[in-house]
Amino acid sequence: MEIASDLQSSISNPCMELTEVERERLAKLEQLRASGIEPYPLRSQFVRQRVLAADAVRQVLASAQSQADGTAGDDALSEVAVMGRVVARRIMGRAAFLGVEDGSGKIQFYARVGDDSLDATSFAHFKELDLGDFIEAKGALFITKTGEPTLRVTDWRLLAKSISPLPIAKEEKMPDGSVVRHSAFSDPELRYRQRYVDLAVNPEVREIFVTRAKVIKALREFLDSKGFLEVETPVLQPIYGGAAARPFITHHNQLDQDLYLRISFELYLKRLIVGNLERVYEIGRDFRNEGVSFKHNPEFTQLEFYAAYMDMYDVMDLAEEMLQYVAHQVLPPQAEGKSQFRGHTIHWLQPFKRIKLRDAILERTGIDYTRFPDRQSLADEVLRRRLLTPDVLRGKPWGKIVDSLIGDYVEKELVEPTFLYEYPRDISPFAKSVPGDPTTVERFEGFIGGVELCNAFSELNDPFEQRQRFLEEATNAEEGEANPVDDDYVRALMYGMPVTGGFGMGIDRLVMMFTNRDSIREVLLFPALRQEERAGLR
RNA sequence: GGGCCGUUAGCUCAGUCUGGCAGAGCAGGGGACUUUUAAUCCUUGUGUCGCAGGUUCGAAUCCUGCACGGCUCACCA
């Protein structure tokens, strides 16, 4: 709406922001109208006969092949209709070639003046088409003498005029078959701000989001097949919880009540386990009011599942099986279960490594943290070995120090899929303790390519201990990042929650791992950006 | 929030070190060309050099501040 009114004002106000090229095209559009051609027609004429570009190309190549083999009957190629966006133009006087791209790929249109193609008027308009215009055309398929599958246009219509020039790159086919892109639209800021342009012009960007959809579909397939029920829980929550992060705050006017955008689904999903739903999962958006980075966006997509009667080890098996299923469904067969990520080759189909957190830290830092069971002794030892600076240590409880050691010394090294397990209790307020070790809980995290991917535990179901953990959190957590005491959650546990295994995973990060993107922004259609300052959108 | 780097034509980018007419390719305009494909050939226009100050005879270039972005550190399970 706003863009439309913007354009409106730009048309009525000639000194506004239209560029030379845009004014040029606007004039062209008005000429079309004057000559009785609607630049934005109501509908396509040929939709019902539509053939995808890729299918048309396949069809004509197959036919050419069978003719070369001599196996061809007299299967003359039928007339087809193809529609798409003009992405290349080569005008040659009384003949013209257009590259046309649709959702499936590209095909070439060829038109010329003459009995077997277009009359003079129609051809004149055909030559006037701009890069970015949408058209539909009907005609017979053939292969040019340079071997290009082509539609010989005998009837065509403009479907939508493009005013602003798309930065369409030229593609050069090298002798070795590779394609070099010239002047590609590549400025990251512009690509994210005007993602529609990025998608229109960069096919590999579209491919990322196709893969993303496949990942999510595969996750659903897998969990559905294991008897999980997909559910939806509130995004607007009166008490946020389930993770240590600062929330976004909003307000409901009629209730006159502040609400938080959820930072996790955890506490609501476990209420459902109390309610006998036994196996539930949710795929949805979490919101965390924290800094942004290559792996953090203020809103991100999370998968959480909870399964009654499972423990951490069952969940580990299930998670491994799930990720391998996704890899199998998403990666092309020739990839053989491998993907590239942050300069590493990830082998998805090999058994995941499983390492006790204590051993991982001991190996990387020389510290056996079980020998330093209190904050002071661990801090002293970390300082003695110059592993962390006093600045980093300030205010951190014992568990947070261990966590910092993971982040600084362990995480980056975990390239192949790896589960680290058994975590400090005081950074895990919803996990059950390991028998006989009150400082440690049954919790694991999964790492791939040096990036944390998922987090899971044997869920704490003792309402009295849960209440105690909430209170401990409230006293020693830093400002704004405590899990607030959720009395209703404790009340739910009072009715009895079975032994339960739970799991959470950042889907954006998983997509990064399958698409070899180094930044979370590359796998989000519209990543968070600072608001554009300049008025007028341009 | 800190550090580093960047912002020049519609797109991709030179030019900034060492101040002296604002540049190239593509895209666009005019012309030629009936199987081209980064089409080609002839011809032609293209600018708030991110913004605001300052230094200077003179600033895209040097200085200061600001805005936006990228990377990175911190924060962040």
Judged by C1' against the alpha carbon of A477, the nearest nucleotide is: B77
A89 and A226 within one domain: no
Q: Find the range with the poorest average confidence among A143-152, A242-251, A358-367.
A: A242-251
Among A114, A145, A166, the domain-final residue is: A166
CA angle A257, A263, A265 (to 5 degrees): 100
Residue A19 CA and nucleotide B12 C1' are separated, in Å, by 18
Judged by C1' against the alpha carbon of A179, the nearest nucleotide is: B38
> Per-residue pLDDT averaged across A473-497, rounded?
79
Has residue A66 been placed in a domain?
yes
A55 and A111 within one domain: yes
pLDDT band, residue A477 (cuts 50/70/90)? low
- pLDDT of the residue at A482: 60
Of A274 and A426, the structure prediction assigns the larger pLDDT to A274
Contacts of A133 (CB under 8 A, 6+ apart): A85, A86, A158, A159, A160, A161, A162
> Per-residue pLDDT averaged across A53-65, rounded?
91
A162 and A243 within one domain: no
Contacts of A474 (CB under 8 A, 6+ apart): A482, A483, A484, A485
CATH at A38: 2.40.50.140
Statement: residue A13 has pLDDT above 70: no
- pLDDT of the residue at A185: 86
pLDDT band, residue A533 (cuts 50/70/90)? low
Residue A88 CA and nucleotide B8 C1' are separated, in Å, by 27
Residue A112 CA and nucleotide B24 C1' are separated, in Å, by 34
Q: At what angle do helices A507-515 and A203-225 cross, to 10 degrees?
A: 120
- pLDDT of the residue at A10: 39
Q: CA torsion, points A284, A288, A293, A299, in degrees to nearest 10?
A: 30
Can you spell out the DSSP letters for A76-88?
Answer: PPPEEEEEEEEEE
Q: Find the range with the poorest average confidence among A170-179, A265-274, A419-428.
A: A170-179
Residue A206's SS3 state is: helix
**Are A107 and A151 within 8 A, CB to CB?**
yes
A146 and A23 within one domain: yes
Statement: residue A5 has pLDDT above 50: no
Q: Rg of chain A's alpha carbons, rounded to an integer?
A: 30
Statement: residue A480 has pLDDT above 70: no
Q: At what angle do helices A312-330 and A507-515 cross, to 10 degrees?
A: 40
pLDDT in tens, A209-223: 999 999 999 999 999
CATH at A511: 3.30.930.10
**Are A270 and A459 within 8 A, CB to CB?**
yes
Residue A422's SS3 state is: strand
ipTM of the complex: 0.86
> Per-residue pLDDT averaged across A525-538, rounded?
63
- CA nearest to nucleotide B38 C1': residue: A172
- Looking at chain A, the whole-number percentage of residues with pLDDT higher than 90 is 60
Judged by C1' against the alpha carbon of A145, the nearest nucleotide is: B35
- Looking at chain A, the whole-number percentage of residues with pLDDT higher than 70 is 92
Measured from the Cβ of residue A180, the count of other Cβ atoms closer than 10 Å reads 11
Can you read off the two tokens belonging to residue A450? 């040096």
- pLDDT of the residue at A385: 86
> Per-residue pLDDT averaged across A258-280, rounded?
95
pLDDT in tens, A376-417: 899 888 888 888 887 778 777 888 889 888 988 898 889 999
Judged by C1' against the alpha carbon of A113, the nearest nucleotide is: B34
Can you read off the two tokens belonging to residue A175? 């002798």
A159 CB-side CA count, 13 A: 18
A216 and A81 within one domain: no
A37 and A152 within one domain: yes
Has residue A509 been placed in a domain?
yes
Distance CA A165, CA A507 (A): 35
End-to-end CA distance of chain A: give it in Å, rounded. Answer: 16
Instruction: Please count the structural domains in chain A.
Output: 2
Q: What's the whole-number average pLDDT of chain A? A: 88
CA angle A290, A217, A416 (to 5 degrees): 65
Judged by C1' against the alpha carbon of A431, the nearest nucleotide is: B77
- pLDDT of the residue at A330: 96
A244 and A125 within one domain: no
> Per-residue pLDDT averaged across A253-281, rounded?
95
Q: At what angle do helices A312-330 and A203-225 cross, to 10 degrees?
A: 140
pLDDT in tens, A109-151: 999 998 788 999 999 999 999 999 999 999 999 999 899 999 9
A225 and A77 within one domain: no
Residue A129 CA and nucleotide B33 C1' are separated, in Å, by 18
Can you read off the two tokens belonging to residue A45? 């004429």
Environment class of residue A361 by beta-carbon count within 10 Å: exposed (0-12), middle (13-18) or buried (19+)? buried
A152 and A22 within one domain: yes
Can you read off the two tokens belonging to residue A340? 């590239």
Query: Closest Cα to residue A152, out of A143, A165, A161, A160?
Result: A143
Has residue A538 been placed in a domain?
no
Has residue A226 been placed in a domain?
yes
Distance CA A380, CA A393 (A): 10
Contacts of A526 (CB under 8 A, 6+ apart): A192, A195
Statement: residue A268 has pLDDT above 50: yes
Among A166, A191, A224, the domain-final residue is: A166
Statement: residue A312 has pLDDT above 80: yes
Q: Which of the nucleotides in strand B have any atom less than 7 Å away from a protein CB atom?
A: 1, 10-13, 25-29, 32-40, 45-46, 67-77
Distance CA A247, CA A431 (A): 22
A49 and A115 within one domain: yes
A137 and A14 within one domain: yes
Residue A14 CA and nucleotide B39 C1' are separated, in Å, by 36
Residue A491's SS3 state is: helix
Has residue A362 been placed in a domain?
no
> Per-residue pLDDT averaged across A311-320, rounded?
97
- CA nearest to nucleotide B50 C1': residue: A534
- pLDDT of the residue at A295: 86
Has residue A45 been placed in a domain?
yes
pLDDT band, residue A534 (cuts 50/70/90)? very low
pLDDT in tens, A170-195: 888 887 777 888 778 888 888 888 89
A257 and A331 within one domain: yes
Q: Enumerate the β-bridge partners of residue A237.
A: A260
* Residue spans of alpha helices (H) in A186-241: 188-193, 195-201, 203-225
The domain in which residue A57 lies consists of 2-166
Residue A207 CA and nucleotide B75 C1' are separated, in Å, by 33
- pLDDT of the residue at A7: 40
> Across chain A, how many H-helices and E-strands are there?
16, 21
Statement: residue A323 has pLDDT above 80: yes
Statement: residue A475 has pLDDT above 80: no
- CA nearest to nucleotide B74 C1': residue: A392
- Contacts for A361-368: CB closer than 8 Å, 24+ residues apart: A361/A402, A361/A405, A361/A406, A361/A409, A361/A410, A364/A405, A364/A409, A364/A410, A364/A413, A365/A405, A365/A409, A367/A405
Among A138, A166, A194, the domain-final residue is: A166
Residue A148 CA and nucleotide B36 C1' are separated, in Å, by 10
Has residue A58 been placed in a domain?
yes
- pLDDT of the residue at A536: 35
**Are A114 and A139 within 8 A, CB to CB?**
no
Distance CA A160, CA A38 (A): 9
Q: Enumerate the β-bridge partners of residue A134.
A: A85, A160
Of A429 and A291, the structure prediction assigns the larger pLDDT to A429
pLDDT in tens, A426-435: 889 999 999 9
**Are A339 and A415 within 8 A, CB to CB?**
no
**Are A278 and A308 within 8 A, CB to CB?**
yes
Size of chain A in residues: 538
A14 CB-side CA count, 13 A: 4
Statement: residue A4 has pLDDT above 60: no
Environment class of residue A207 by beta-carbon count within 10 Å: exposed (0-12), middle (13-18) or buried (19+)? exposed
Q: Find the range with the poorest average confidence among A60-74, A159-173, A266-280.
A: A60-74
Has residue A427 been placed in a domain?
no
